Amino acid sequence: MTALLYLLGVAIFVLAIAVSIGLHELGHLVPAKRFGRKVTQYFIGFGPTLWSFRRGETEYGVKAIPLGGYVKIVGMLPPGQEGELRSTNTGMFTQLISDSRKAEMELVGPNDGDRLFYQMPWWKKVVVMAGGPTVNLAIAFVIFAGLFALHGIPHVDAAPGRPVVAHVSECVIPFTEEGRECGPSDPIAPANEAGLRPGDVITSFNGTEVSDWDQLRTMIRDNADGTAVIGYERDGQQLSGTTSTTVEARPASDTDESLVQVGFLGVSPTTYTWYEKGGLLFTLEQMWGMTKETVVALAHLPVKVWDVAQAIVGLEERKADSPVSIVGGGRIAGEATAHEEIATTEKAVFLLQLIAGFNFFIGMFNFLPLLPLDGGHIASALWEALRRGFARLRGRPDPGYVDAAKLLPVAYVVAVCFLVMGVVLIIGDLVVPIHLTST
């Protein structure tokens, strides 16, 4: 049964991502056709064709490698200067550009002269290229809106009233190394030294009566490395322990992850979970926060992938917050579905969050202003609008269309880099996978 549930989770995730890819490509296909452009192919996947059919001038189908999709819009590359296509060129990049122009023009029929992509106004180009990633963001928004309205965002807070100890640290481990076992060189935690145990109710700190966890945490942090006399209740008996807090680097607050030097005791309280629900505006606020976090994550993506590569060869352990591929997402989905201690409702919520998260990241990633991503074509269209606008203001001749073919060498380098990163993440998800328990 566990194996079947695991496979079910993987299948649901893979199917959802495949549907998302198909809808992404429809986001390009529909406006391109509405604007009268010639579209010859619409495929989900890459590699050998598994199944296809033709309707009108467009071939629709599925390919063997389900790691993306594409829509072939004819005329992405304009011809060379004065419409010429030179048959011979010197230089690798010059030949590459010329060959690409020839391949593009081979798809142009005698009646397609005014149906080419590069001939469109800049704003139509933006609509066509932004359609795909916008669909992914819309999918994420719909899923998140439903989850936030019906289920809510879980928050874990300390139980109200005097703090009841849930966990006592055995030793002092730096915050950046949390999760590892205590070593012989790690000092004993002050709370452990004071004799505190799970279930104890802390009643006072240095003679001041404690009413709740927030008050106690503030006093501990402000105590630096000073003496700490802790009053607590155990099995109805009033007891006391004396120790000295130690100064450690810890997050400034629950919402500020920057590290500051504060007093540390080594105790955590019992908690309870509550759910914050909201409507469409609440969803937009949450997704705006996700946007800022994703921008930071994209900026650090090459470094994160390098860390995964080092984990693959055994130079370091794979971090729980490292990026994952679709393969890793499928594994996590399978583990969540097969987990015996997770309720069915929570499994469904987790899968939906995972699917929405992948769609959100795919949408944001494709908006990067780099060819061959959608964002690179959007940037080219905006640049075309700017330089044509400046030319009109200055009374100069129209500079014409932006020649994306000249950026092909850069696009190929970027594509190779993304391909390498994708391969590294897939290998990492197979060799050193992130498990549900480590996320």
- For the stretch 387-411, pLDDT in tens is 998 988 988 988 888 887 788 888 8
pLDDT in tens, 140-152: 999 999 999 999 9
Q: What is the mean pLDDT of residues 258-276?
A: 91
pLDDT in tens, 175-188: 888 878 888 889 99
Q: Quick check: 287 and 281 in contact, CB under 8 A? A: no
Could you tell me the strand order of the sheet in which 201-205 lies?
Answer: 208-209, 201-205, 227-234, 237-244
End-to-end CA, the chain: 24
Q: Quick check: 429 and 327 in contact, CB under 8 A? A: yes
Instruction: For residue 250, give the 3-state DSSP assignment.
Output: strand
pLDDT of residue 202: 94
> Higher confidence at residue 410 or residue 1?
410
Q: What is the mean pLDDT of residues 58-82?
A: 84
Return the closest-CA partner of residue 57 out of 36, 31, 27, 79. 36
Instruction: Evaluate if residue 108 carries a pLDDT over 90.
Output: no
Provide the phi-psi class of 309: left if phi over 0, else alpha when psi is between -120 and 50, else beta. Answer: alpha
Instruction: Report which residue type is found at 219.
Output: M
- Taking only Cα atoms into account, the Rg of the chain, rounded to an integer number of angstroms, comes to 29
DSSP state of 216: H
Pairwise CA distance, residues 89 & 83, whole Å: 16
pLDDT in tens, 331-365: 999 999 988 878 888 999 999 999 999 999 999 99
Identify the H or E element spanning 62: strand 58-73
pLDDT of residue 192: 92
Pairwise CA distance, residues 426 & 315, whole Å: 18
Instruction: For residue 243, give the 3-state DSSP assignment.
Output: strand
Q: What is the mean pLDDT of residues 216-235?
A: 93
pLDDT of residue 438: 42
Q: Which fold has domain 157-274?
A: Pdz3 Domain (2.30.42)
The per-residue pLDDT of the chain, averaged, comes to: 88
Q: Which of 25, 104, 248, 384 is catalytic?
A: 25
pLDDT in tens, 76-91: 887 765 544 444 455 5
- The residues of the chain that CATH labels 2.30.42.10 are 157-274
pLDDT of residue 93: 59
Strand stretches in 285-389, DSSP E: none
pLDDT of residue 111: 79
Geometric angle at alpha carbon 18, from 284 and 133, rounded to 5°: 40
Identify the H or E element spanning 145: helix 122-150
Beta-carbon contacts of residue 94 (< 8 Å; ≥ 6 apart): none
Q: Quick check: 330 and 10 in contact, CB under 8 A? A: yes
Q: Quick check: 358 and 332 in contact, CB under 8 A? A: no
Q: How confident is the model at residue 204 (pLDDT cuts 50, 70, 90)?
A: very high
Pairwise CA distance, residues 354 & 352, whole Å: 5
* Dihedral of alpha carbons 214, 215, 216, 221, sign: positive
pTM score, whole prediction: 0.83
Beta-carbon contacts of residue 235 (< 8 Å; ≥ 6 apart): none
Q: What is the mean pLDDT of residues 263-284?
A: 93
Q: Is 285 marked active-site? A: no
Beta-carbon contacts of residue 285 (< 8 Å; ≥ 6 apart): 278
Q: What is the mean pLDDT of residues 292-304?
A: 92
pLDDT in tens, 299-339: 999 999 999 999 999 888 888 888 999 999 999 999 999 88
Sort 345 into a burial class: Cβ within 10 Å, 0-12 / 13-18 / 19+.
exposed
Query: How far, rounded to the nearest angstrom, does the alpha carbon of residue 427 sit from its chain's CA centroid?
Result: 18
